[in-house]
Chain A
Amino acid sequence: EVQLVESGGGLVQPGGSLRVSCEASGFTFSTYAMNWVRQAPGKGLEWVSYISSSSSTMYYAASVKGRFTISRDNAKNSLSLQMNSLRDEDTAVYYCVRVTHGSRFDTWGQGTLVTVSS
């Protein structure tokens, strides 16, 4: 079964840092691009960041560029998002998402909640 399991969410103060991770199973992780997508409480979906299968290409939403860093370890079937200089508006559920055929977000994890608050 194709599965994505996020971890690492929690409460962090404004200006702080947090690293969320995603463990993939049930497919050949190294052949798929991956994304992070977030959803603030009661709000819609917002794409955050993309990484290609080989880590050669990364993209970021303007709202997180310069503060967030996406990375992956194909040997460990894992995806990470390092979040620095966190702001109140970064509070959201962060979803790990598999990308197929260039643009289809075909598999989503259950999400991990990040709360930025003093």
Chain B
Amino acid sequence: QSLLTQPPSASGTPGQRVTISCSGSRFDIGTNTVNWYQQLPGTAPKLLIYSNNQRPSGVPDRFSGSKSGTSASLAISGLQSDDEADYYCATWDDSLNGWVFGGGTKLTVL
């Protein structure tokens, strides 16, 4: 099963802005919207961003998403210690007839 490509790790200091990339193909990101999920340690994932750049109710506006061509990005500004988590991008893959996730990015707040 194909995976979207994410960097395995990212880091920043409190207050900084970090971005996490997600790369795919014309069959997945190139054709469909991207969602992002946050998984805090020991918990189930949570929807963070949907439809490329929309935030569910309750998600702070420090989190933002974007998409261009076959790539997407998640940006977190004003980094906080409780942002330490794993972040996953996901989208539908037209060639697989199923969803694909990125491999996940572990964010460390230094």
Residue numbers of A with Cβ under 8 A of B are 35, 37, 44-47, 50, 59-63, 95, 101, 103-106, 108-111
Contact = CB atoms under 8 A, between A and B. Distances in A.
B40 to A, nearest CB: 12
B47 A104 contact: yes
A101 B32 CA distance: 13
Contacts of A47: 90, 98-101
Given A103-B33, A103-B91, A104-B50, A35 B45 contact: no
B76 to A, nearest CB: 19
B44 A106 contact: no
A44 B50 CA distance: 19
A59 B98 contact: yes
Interface of B is mostly: strand
A50 B98 contact: yes
A44 B101 contact: yes
Nearest to B46: A108
Given A95-B44, A108-B44, A109-B44, A103 B32 contact: yes
B103 interface: yes
4 closest A-B pairs by beta carbon, nearest first, are A47-B99, A44-B104, A108-B44, A45-B101
